[in-house]
Structure formats: C-alpha cells, structure tokens
Amino acid sequence: MRPLLLQGGRVIDPSRSLDQTMDVLIQDGKIAAVGTGLGSPDGADVRDVRGKVVAPGLLDVHVHLREPGNEDVETIASGTRAAAAGGFTAVCAMPNTDPVTDNQAAVGFIVRQAARAGLTRVYPIGAISVGQKGEQLSEFGEMVGAGAVAVSDDGKPVASSHMMRTALEYAQTFGIPVADHCEEPTLAAGGVMHEGLVATRLGLKGIPAAAEEIMVGRDILLAELTGGHVHLCHMSTRGSVELIRRAKERGVRVTAEVTPHHLTLTDLACEGYDTQAKMNPPLREAADVAALRAALKDGVIDCIASDHAPHAYDAKEAAFDDAPFGVAGLETAFGVAWTELVEGGVLTAAELIARMSTAPAAALRLPGGSLKPGAPADVVVLDVTARWTVDPVTFFSKSRNTPFAGRTLTGRAALTVVGGTVVHPGEGPSAA
Amino acid sequence: MTAVLGKDLVGLEYLSPDQIRLILDTAEPFKEVSERPIKKVPALRGKTIVNLFFEASTRTRISFEFAEKRLSADTVNVAASGSAVQKGETLVDTAKNLEAMRIDMVVIRHPSSGAAQFLGDRIRSNVVSAGDGKHEHPTQALLDLLTIRDTHGRIAGLKVCLVGDILHSRVARSNIWGLLKLGAEVGVCGPATLMPRGIEELGVCRFRRIEEAIEWADVLNVLRLQLERMERGFIPSLREYYRVFGVTQERLERAPRQLTIMHPGPMNRGVEIDSRVADGSHSVILAQVTNGVAVRMAALYLLAGGRPELADAAKGPAGGANE
C-alpha cells in the first residue's frame, strides 16, 4: 500500500480540538503523522489539498442498505459506494432487511458483503426482536459476536414497553446501545405527514408530534430505570429535544441523532403532494427545525445521521398515501449540512465535522472519528467551496429518491480514504 | 386552445374568485338543457371522456355521465373493481394506457388525497376531480355554491356552516375554499374528534355546539357521517351523535331566522339529519342534485376550451331538436 500524503489542508480533528493548516501522512493503513512540513516517503501518493478540509471520515449511524432482500433498490456494494461518495468511511446498517437481520448468520452475511465490496466500513445493527415482531428477544450475544454494534427494530417502533425494558437490560451485558424508532403506533396509525395546517389543507392524515414524544419519554424513563443506553433515532420535534435535554441533565444514558432533512425542511415541502418529502418521522414545523438545530449545536442531540432509505425509482411515482416513506440521503448529507448549517451560521466547521464523525462514533462507541497518529486511516477530504447541483441521476446509490433534487449545495467529499485506501473517487459511473 | 380554467379542475383552492364565478355563470344557461324533452347539445361532440372511479359512487358518477352525455361527449366508465386496477396496475399506468387511446378528459374519483393532481401532472388530457381522498370535491362545492346563490340571490355576506365530520370530508374543504373566495362567512361544527388541526387558520369559525351554529348561520350544509367513524372510535354511537349534533326540527325551530338546509348526500336520516328537516320546505337537497348536472356541464365545457360567452350558443340545436 502506497503511503498517502495530504498536503496543506485545513485539518479539523474534533477528537483533539485541532483546526489548523497541516499535512496528514497515511502509512500502512494508519495515520502516521499530522503536522506541518511533513516529508513525503518514497513512492508516496502526494495530494495537494490546500483550501480543502481534512477530517476524520464521516460516520453515519443510521442507513438502510436493503441487502438482503431488496437488491434492486440498493446493495451493500452500491450503498457503501454512495457512502464513500458522501464522505463517509463507516455506516451502521439497520436490520429491517428481508429476511430480518436478527441472528448471527445474518449479521455475518452483512459483514462479509461489506468486506467483499471493500469500500466503507459497515457496522451491522441487529434486530431487537426476532423478525422485528416485538415478541421475542433476538440473540444479542451471538449477533455482537458476529459484528453487531447495537440493536434496533428501526422501521418499526418497539410497541411493548416490557420488550424495550428487557432489551435495555439485556443489552448491557454486551455493552451495546438499544436504538429506537420512536413512534407510538396507535397515534401514528395511517398517518403520512406531520399533523398540522398543511395536512389539514391537503387532506392527508397527520402524525402528531406527540406520537414521537410519548416514546421518547418512555424510552428515557426505561433507560433511567434500567441503567441501559438508549439511542433515539431521527428526532423530529421540539418536544423530543426538551425531553432529551432534561434527561441528559439528570445523567440518563441517552444519545440521539437527527437527519439533514429534519434540520432543513418543514411540512411545507409536502405541498403539491410531493412524495419526495414523505418520510417517517415526517417533516415538522419551523419551530421544530429551529429547536433541532439548537440542540445539535449544544450537544443535546449528539449527531447527524442520514437515515438513508433508498426506494425503487418509480416507487415514489404514486399518490401521497401510496408512496413509501424515506430519503436516499448518503450523497447529500454533508452538502446539505454544510450549506444550511455552516454557511447558514448555525454551526462552525469544526462543530459540523464533530457532529458527523467524532460524535456519532462516541454515541455508538465505535472506532473512528479521530486523526490521532496510530488510528486507522479513515479520512475524508472535503471541498467546502465546491458548488454543485443535486442531480439524483448521478447518484452512486441505486435509488433516486431525494427532496433535494435541483438544489445547489456547497461542499462535497473530494477524497474518501478507508484504512489507507482511497475509496472515492474511484471506479464508477460519475467519479467526482 | 387554453381554457380559462387551466388544464385541470382538481380543487377550488387553486381557482380564483373570478374563475369560480365564471363556472357558476356558465352553468346558468346549461340548466335549461336538462329541462328540454331532448336533453342534448353539441358542445362536446367528438370529445372522449373517461370516468375513472376508484371508489364507489352513484350520484356523482351519474351526474358527471349525464353532464357529459348532454354535451354530446362520448363517455366510458371505468370502475376500480373488475378493472386492471384490481390486478395491481398503478394509477400512472392506468392513466397512460387510457391516454394511449387518445382520450380528451378524465374524470377521476380516488381514495387518495392528491390523486387527481397527480394524474393531471402526468397526462395531457384534462383532469377533473370527482373527489380525491380527504382533499377536495370541487364540483360538489360548485353545485353547493350555485344552489346557495339560487336560493339567496347572493353568496357574499352569507353565513354558511358545515356540520359534521370535517376531518375526513373533501366536501368540507372544497366548500370552505369556495365560500371564502366568494365572500361568505364560513363556520364549522362537529365533534372535536372529527375536526382537523388548524382548521381555524383557514379563516373559518368553529362551533363546538350545534345550537350555537344554528343560531349563527343562514345556511347549514350537513355532511354525511360515515358509519365507519363509530367503529374507528371517533364517536361513541350514532344515537349519541344524533342527540348531540343532529340537525333536528326542534333545534331549527329555536333559530332566530329560517335556515336553508343542504346535504351533499347520501343522507343518513336520523343520524346527522332529522327526516322532517331533510324533507322540509327549506331543504334544497334535491335542487343541489339538479344543479350538479349543470355545474358539471359548465366545468367540462370550459375545461374543453369552450368560450364562456358562447355557452348560450353552444346550447344550439343537437340532432335537429330546437325549441
């Protein structure tokens, strides 16, 4: 493996509170040195990255890779290629595959497929319950042994409080968090967008904010009761933010994520029955967006996660009620976040990098998120001056579903390195 | 030729007050056609119209079909049951196949809100909504407006209250837009469980008790209570609904003025409305049905590119019959 020298970039490493112009030398798959005026070893691949940001590889704790079961829509190979293009060096794969990732063999399959693809790292998340049916606990121990880093029934809420309690207790044996998709099923039943004036006008069934907040409150109380670690997926309401804030103040083991779309769009995006704006949880109101942004800044919400949810190109070509929920977000996450949050004055560059690398790694206790010498060389070079227009046709993901099509964004990955190997740009239909 | 209404008619929210008035005014000369022995004018001769009904409908479907036939259009009815839809064909594929047969217009009823607009955005033919989910039922509101205008001589300044299940009602949404655009005051009254969030922000006043609504209103438009609402737990029983929200003779007798009573049908007598009220002298329920044909003739005529000032002439002799 050739050494790789990244010269003259703005090195931002939140794990060491570093933000200055330096060189980064990668050798033998590891960070060899970070400093000024580093010499280049013989045969090194030297890249001039002046004007660009060099950061720990981005880490997405919430993606749906659809393999096994829905390979027409995404595979582990296509999904990790999309992740690499988005600047991610690791992703956590949710278990709502077909069949469900609820046992060690299924977890092992994902690990092997990811190794075969050889792009970003994939950390599988196992199901909480067998078949995600909410009835019987999956074998957490065996799944962790095969490589699972957390458990979740994501895509479905854990309706039974007893099941959630049991999962939070049992997961502690293996030191893994329980990630929950917070949705009170009887309140959310049949809903397709946020309950509010827009839903009233469009005649669409709403999902009230309380459907999320009831479960956030429940999960926090159960984490407090059990001492377990609950990770709250894709938070969408200001009420949830307040519940998490108070829980963290009293020391409950709770972490939380928010998606780029919930940080930047409101239910107004559903106007005209735009099915690209249909997602679960739904896009909420401006006051929710403001609260989520503030919570991300002050750390009440730990990290950004894309909730990458690919769908077939024609699946969203339907009436709003009939279209599936979800956004293919891996390739737009950083650009949307940089444009809206950093250029929008909400976060500093270093804060955004932290919320997309160091913080998600810490939240799920994963390796990565640091450029410390000796650490695995998972590095991203971000061109934060590149202006580009989102054209879903150019996605590496097999899917095209995005509410950001046509948007002009600033910032994208110029180089993604996993374990010292350049995984983006690389071979592909539209190498950046 | 670009029609004055645009390509599609999918909701009154998207029409201007002038466009709504134009449809009502155009309906006037068409009313007379239905009173003739030979009920046919040549306005849409040679046009092909598909009535695509994904939901059961009797009154609306027949009303559209009469309107089309009285304008001399060629019509085909497609119902969801027994069609390719039941075999899993998507809405887009159904529409594109119909269009491949070179049709001019689609009248669509669909259980999903936004389905009419979805179709209109994807095919070249004119699309007319005959009701989409809980969104809008524009021709129903137009016939309601025409009936109110016939009865009161005006719409502006009148107080019209919609009573019942506002949450699930496309009739309510279309009426709210149409009435507000033509200057009426609009009230809504029904159980809180059947009232959508933020409804007041549309500019309507909300009454929690039917007695207050009756005291306020000039016109009551009593919505059908779908019997499944009870099964889904929105109301405890039909009996109690009638007792608390029923539009009864006794309640109307205490009103400070005579109210005009409307209902889009089909009625549940003894649930949302007292039979004596439905059959009473101030009920215009059957006039609504009659006006439905004229309003739909006007809408189809205008969408097809007919010029409003020629609506009278468009009535000209068909098949040699003239009066």
A394 and A253 in a common domain: no
Identify the DSSP state of B142: H
Q: Answer yes or no: is A369 within a domain.
A: no
The continuous run of DSSP H or E covering A46 comes out as strand A45-48
Best A202, A270, A317 member to test B by mutation, with max B CBs in 10 Å, is A202
Measured distance CA(A427)–CA(A45) in Å, rounded: 18
Q: Which of B91, B92, B173 sits opposite A203 (nearest CB)?
A: B173
Judging by beta carbons within 10 Å of its beta carbon (0-12, 13-18, 19+), is residue B167 exposed, middle or buried? buried
Are the folds of B12-136+291-311 and B138-287 the same? Answer: yes
- Among residues A311, A337, A363, the one where a domain terminates is A363
* Contact (CB, 8 A) for A417 and A426: no
DSSP output for A238-275: HHHHHHHHHHHHTT--EEEEE-HHHHH--GGGGGGG-G
Distance from CA of B67 to the nearest CA of A (A): 27
B203 near A CB under 8 A: no
Q: Evaluate if residue B114 carries a pLDDT over 70.
A: yes
Q: How far apart are the first and last CA of chain B?
A: 31
Domain, as residue range, for A15: 4-54+376-431
Q: Evaluate if residue B318 carries a pLDDT over 90.
A: no
Q: Answer yes or no: is A368 within a domain.
A: no
Q: Evaluate if residue B96 carries a pLDDT over 70.
A: yes
Among the listed residues B234, B180, B240, the one whose alpha carbon sits nearest the alpha carbon of residue B210: B240
Distance from CA of B116 to the nearest CA of A (A): 9
**CATH number of the domain that residue A245 is part of:** 3.20.20.140
In chain A, which among 200-239 make CB contacts under 8 A with chain B?
200-206, 208
A170 and A135 in a common domain: yes
Nearest Cα residue in chain B from A319: B115
A96 and A227 in a common domain: yes
* Contact (CB, 8 A) for B111 and B88: no
Give the amino acid at A414.
A
Domain ranges of chain B: 12-136+291-311, 138-287
Look at B114 and A273 and tell me if their CB atoms are within 8 Å: yes
Q: Which residue in the block uniquely carries the two structure tokens 């030979």?
A: B38
* Contact (CB, 8 A) for A428 and A81: yes
Question: Quick one: what percent of chain B has pLDDT higher than 70?
Answer: 93
Q: Answer yes or no: is A353 within a domain.
A: yes
pLDDT recorded at residue A88? 98
Q: Answer yes or no: is A396 within a domain.
A: yes
Distance from CA of B105 to the nearest CA of A (A): 19
CATH number of B12-136+291-311: 3.40.50.1370
Looking at domain B138-287, which CATH architecture does it have? 3-Layer(aba) Sandwich (3.40)
- Report the DSSP pairing between strands B185-189 and B159-163: parallel
Among the listed residues B3, B53, B52, B59, the one whose alpha carbon sits nearest the alpha carbon of residue B26: B3
Please give, one letter per residue, the 3-state secondary structure of A297-319: HHCCCCEECCCECCCCCCCCCCC
Give B158-183 pLDDT, tens digit per residue.
999 999 999 999 999 999 999 999 99
Look at B202 and A199 and tell me if their CB atoms are within 8 Å: no
pLDDT recorded at residue B87? 65
- Among residues A363, A392, A411, the one where a domain terminates is A363
How many interchain CB pairs under 8 A, A with B?
Answer: 66
Q: Answer yes or no: is A370 within a domain.
A: no
Q: Answer yes or no: is A24 within a domain.
A: yes
Q: Which of A199, A208, A322 sits opposite B112 (nearest CB)?
A: A322
Measured distance CA(A219)–CA(A249) in Å, rounded: 16
Among the listed residues B221, B223, B323, B220, the one whose alpha carbon sits nearest the alpha carbon of residue B271: B223
Measured distance CA(A161)–CA(A408) in Å, rounded: 44
Question: How many domains would you assign to chain A?
Answer: 2
User: Which amino acids of B are annotated catalytic?
Assistant: 59-60, 87, 109, 137
Helix (H, G, I), strand (E, B) or coil at A189: coil
Question: What confidence tier does B256 reach under pLDDT thresholds 50, 70, 90?
Answer: very high
Helix (H, G, I), strand (E, B) or coil at A233: coil
Cβ atoms within 10 Å, residue B25: 14
DSSP output for A20-34: EEEEEEEETTEEEEE
- Among residues A335, A363, A391, the one where a domain terminates is A363
Measured distance CA(A118)–CA(B127) in Å, rounded: 51
Q: Answer yes or no: is A371 within a domain.
A: no
A61 and A49 in a common domain: no
pLDDT in tens, chain A (432 residues): 899 999 999 999 999 999 999 999 999 999 999 999 999 999 999 999 999 999 999 999 999 999 999 999 999 999 999 999 999 999 999 999 999 999 999 999 999 999 999 999 999 999 999 999 999 999 999 999 999 999 999 989 999 999 999 999 999 999 999 999 999 999 999 999 999 999 999 999 999 999 999 999 999 999 999 999 999 999 999 999 999 999 999 999 999 999 999 999 999 999 999 999 999 999 999 999 999 999 999 999 999 999 999 999 899 999 999 999 999 999 999 999 999 999 999 999 999 999 999 999 999 999 999 999 999 999 999 999 999 999 999 999 999 999 999 999 999 999 999 999 999 996 444 433
- Report the DSSP pairing between strands A45-48 and B48-53: unpaired
A48 and A69 in a common domain: no
pLDDT recorded at residue B134? 95
Nearest Cα residue in chain A from B137: A203
A375 near B CB under 8 A: no
With beta carbons under 8 A apart, name residues in chain B contacting A189. none
A78 and A191 in a common domain: yes
Residue B137's contacts (CB-CB under 8 Å, 6 or more residues apart) are B60, B129, B130, B131, B170, B171, B173, B174, B264
A189 near B CB under 8 A: no
